Structure 1
Amino acid sequence: MTVALLTLLFLGVIGATADFLAMDRLQIHAFREAQRAATDWIGAFRPGAPPPTPAVRGAVDLLQLVDTRGRIVAASDAAAGMPRLSTLWPPDGDRIQDGVTCLPDGGCVLVSAVLPPPLYVQQVWRGEPHVVYAGMAQPPILAGNRLQILTAAGILLTTGLVAWGNWWMAGRSLRPVAEIREAMADITVSDLSRRVPEPPGRTEYTLLARTANRTLERLEEAVNHQRRFASTTSHELRSPLAGLRALLEEAVLYPGEVDAQVTVRDALAVSRRLETIVDDLLVLARLRAGDPAAQEPLDLSALVREEAPLHCDRVTIHVCARPGMTVRGNRIQLARILQNLLANACRHAASRIDVTAERGDGLAVVTVTDDGDGIAPQDRERVFERFVRLDDARRREPGGSGLGLAISRDIATAHGGTLVVEDAPHGARFVLRLPLEDRPRDGPGATDG
């Protein structure tokens, strides 16, 4: 609509200007022809001879010679019998005057009034002034509004074509957007496998569709991830809840046969496991949601030396930590990684756990290695999945939640680092890498505890 109005305004101005210039130029041309015809006729006058019959020049066929008393002395064949063409009489100092005269019987005439030179007047008419009128019937294009009507019709037609072309082009160019919108409207949470059509080429619409499809892929992956998480969580919670309910129902149904103290003790153990699972789930949910945690510069080596001796009384822990490794992070979360790794190593170690903290490739590298049976290569990624507990772990600690390593990896990722299982001569080796905040510098030797 806006384009059509602007086109109409622009063409209206152009059309009005063109009409004015065309009519003005046509009228000027007609007057020049009339002036030339009058001048040619004046040039044919001779002293003492009657005025010759004027020769018709183009469309200028109306010529009259009029004296000062208004009498028509001579006229062309087309003007014979006609009244005086005009009352124009050029003033002194201007031999030519143009005008438009409308005749009594209808129609208008473009007339040029031309005074002969004074020498001609003196020689031919003995000083009596005469005037020559030369004219033509006014062209129809100047007589009525035909030109304006044709111009207006052309403007309206052009405006309509421009509006239709703009509508057609806009519809064609926006068709991919409409298809993308319709496809997006049909996609529901229950079926995120559908994708929007991608137009060919490298237009903005193609990039939009490609971005939308990538977003849908991530959304589908996130929804599937949440569904698996909900399914696994419900399964993991159902088992201890079913056990707790069985204990309580047995105590109610057989009060004389069931030891109440044993039942309460077993119920408390199940409740503690449920509490551990729920707490770990809340931590994991906050990490996966990207909730920011307050971070500060902290000495990772000092944190390792503080946490290592506190988590295992069964085996010996050897710490080799290079001092002065500063990272930026949340102290509680990084301490939880160390606690989970040490607790895991303590469950599987035979007699020794080695903890190191050093620099490597511009990163702070913390390793926790036990001398147990180790982890098979095919299980080294599975152990970081939620609720995944290998057979040995279930045997050694039946009450675990299976979330510790998953939480640890998420914390490492949130701090811009990584947590993986690497090869070790004996047992399992977990390697935590975090970006250093300080510049590398030489320091004293490591401490051993």
Structure 2
Amino acid sequence: MSFPSYRLSVQAILVVATGVLSLIALSAIAVAADMVIRSNIEHSVFADTRRATTDWIGSMDTATPPPPVTTSEVDLLQLVDPTGKVVSASRAAAGRPALSEHWPQSDDRIQDFTECSGSGCVMLTATRPSPQEEQLLWGGESHVVYAGRDQPAILGTHRLELYLAAGVLTGSALLVMTAWLLIGQALRPVEQMRRRIARVTVTDLGLRVPEPPGRDAIARLARTANETLSRLQEAVEHQRHFASMVSHELRTPLTGLRAQLEESALYPEVDPRLAIRDALGTVERCQLIIDEMLMLARVRTSPHRPERVNLTALVRAEAVLRCTKVPIQVYADEHVEVCGNPVQLAEVLVNLLLNAQRHARSRVEARVARSEGHAVVSVRDDGIGIEEEDRERVFEPFARLVEARRRDPQGSGLGLAISRAIAQAHHGSLTVEDSPLGADFVLRLPLLDDTAPV
């Protein structure tokens, strides 16, 4: 039997943490305050009782002094002889037995203490006169003066602790309420982002989350979310456009294939072997388009494993393999190295060299050089070139100029699109630049940093 698991929200977790921490902190403050208050009250009471004993002793001039006149809250005063008999006492202490049996020693003549009985607790100070005073007044016999008062209620009960506990709970409750409001206010932009993202659908990717001002974590989260939505919108739009072009490009050969098969089925005089041969040619064209589509999709969506690639050696090797049609002259700096996927980079070079040979009159030039932190590969032919307004169009999937259709009717129009996608996946670029004769395709890739791991 499984039980559902419940997880507190971020706001609830932070509020609970605030409540626990505030309760611990305020409790520690309350304990310290309780100890300080009690200590201060006791110190004040004993200071009064000590003062009362020393004042009365200072006023004694006979062995049996008159009862003292009390003017403060210290109303219990007694003079007790060695036998425990009360020699003199204040009005509040008259008729009572000795307030305490505690007798200070000669080396510690003033002592503070508290004595409790069934009627309550009394805070007392016991003071012995000096030996000279004892000799002068009582012939050397020791006497003790007791001064005290009833223990204050705040010390004798737990009233102070109750007040402090109420203060701790009230303070914690106020802090929890304040934390709930402040954290809720701080997380409100996150909730707004959540609601906005929940409204985003595949058919409507134009929505963006509100970006709060500042550079805190929430503002950075909002900006990252908008950047992600922008990339997602761009990817979906690209996929829609790509799917539309693919369906358009495949419709023509598939329609032709169906017509060929229907013709062979409806008309017995049609040679079936010839029909099958024509159908196989159409199927091969469809397969070529599909294979190149899959390659383009893999380049744009799959990460490549970077390796050390020597572009100089790669260009020379591909040029040697393809010099049977139109001569390829290579002018290259030595050891121009980049970090990338050698198979994909070889695919780019093959596409550029074949494209240049297809449009060249007599020769193709391939140059490899270093320039401003980049490896630059230039593939130039001596054909009719590409008009400036068509230089970006040639990199669009399935885009084919009139000259390209004339020279290669069976081409798919995906080779240059795949090559640019590979260049961009390697943080580089592929463009058509000005040339005095023919077309000049220029591939730029970041040079290999020897300090970076490969």
1:325-383: CA deviation from partner (whole Å, max 9, x where unpaired): 6445666545544443344345545x4343242535263432222323x3221111011
Checking the alignment, whether the CA contact within 8 Å between 2:353 and 2:379 is kept in structure 1 is: no
1:233-291: CA deviation from partner (whole Å, max 9, x where unpaired): 122112111110111011101123x3434423321221221122122112222222234
Per the alignment, in what secondary structure is the counterpart of residue 129 of structure 2?
A: coil
Of 386, 390, 400 in structure 2, the residue corresponding to residue 375 of structure 1 is 386
Does residue 72 of the first structure (1) align with residue 91 of the second (2)?
A: no
Change (3 A) 1:14 1:418: closer
CA–CA distance in 1 between the matches of 2:438 and 2:164? 95
Aligned to 2:60: 45
Change (3 A) 1:360 1:26: closer
Residue type of the alignment partner of 1:397: D
Quote the offset at 1:153 in angstroms: 1.7
Aligned to 2:304: 292
Aligned to 2:235: 222
Of 343, 362, 367 in structure 2, the residue corresponding to residue 352 of structure 1 is 362
Change (3 A) 1:220 1:68: same
CA–CA distance in 1 between the matches of 2:138 and 2:246? 127
Change (3 A) 1:354 1:100: closer
1:126-158: CA deviation from partner (whole Å, max 9, x where unpaired): 444433221112211112111121122222222
Matched ranges for 1:31-180 at <5 A: 31-47=46-62, 50-102=64-116, 106-180=119-193
CA–CA distance in 1 between the matches of 2:193 and 2:304? 35
Aligned to 2:24: 9
The answer to which of 321-330 and 122-131 deviates more is 321-330
Residue type of the alignment partner of 2:362: R
| Bigger Rg over Cα | 1
Aligned to 1:447: none
CA–CA distance in 2 between the matches of 1:134 and 1:331? 102
RMSD: 3.0
Change (3 A) 1:417 1:98: closer
CA–CA distance in 2 between the matches of 1:71 and 1:145? 36
Checking the alignment, whether the CA contact within 8 Å between 1:417 and 1:432 is kept in structure 2 is: yes
Of 187, 193, 201 in structure 1, the residue corresponding to residue 200 of structure 2 is 187
Aligned to 1:430: 441
Change (3 A) 1:158 1:337: closer
CA–CA distance in 2 between the matches of 1:103 and 1:149? 24
Matched ranges for 1:227-266 at <5 A: 227-256=240-269, 258-266=270-278
TM-score if structure 1 supplies the norm length? 0.84
Residue type of the alignment partner of 1:86: S
TM-score if structure 2 supplies the norm length? 0.84
CA–CA distance in 1 between the matches of 2:230 and 2:301? 18
Residue type of the alignment partner of 2:391: R
Checking the alignment, whether the CA contact within 8 Å between 1:108 and 1:143 is kept in structure 2 is: yes
Quote the offset at 1:304 in angstroms: 5.2
CA–CA distance in 2 between the matches of 1:6 and 1:323? 68
Quote the offset at 1:63 in angstroms: 1.5
The answer to which of 112-121 and 335-344 deviates more is 335-344
Does residue 204 of the first structure (1) align with residue 179 of the second (2)?
A: no
Checking the alignment, whether the CA contact within 8 Å between 2:319 and 2:353 is kept in structure 1 is: no
Change (3 A) 1:358 1:339: closer
Give unpaired runs (5+ residues) of structure 1.
Answer: 440-449
Quote the offset at 1:23 in angstroms: 1.7
Change (3 A) 1:239 1:156: same
Checking the alignment, whether the CA contact within 8 Å between 1:300 and 1:326 is kept in structure 2 is: no
Give unpaired runs (5+ residues) of structure 2.
Answer: 1-15
The percent identity for this pair of structures is 48
The answer to which of 234-243 and 184-193 deviates more is 184-193
Change (3 A) 1:408 1:6: closer
Change (3 A) 1:247 1:27: same
Number of residues paired by the alignment?
A: 430
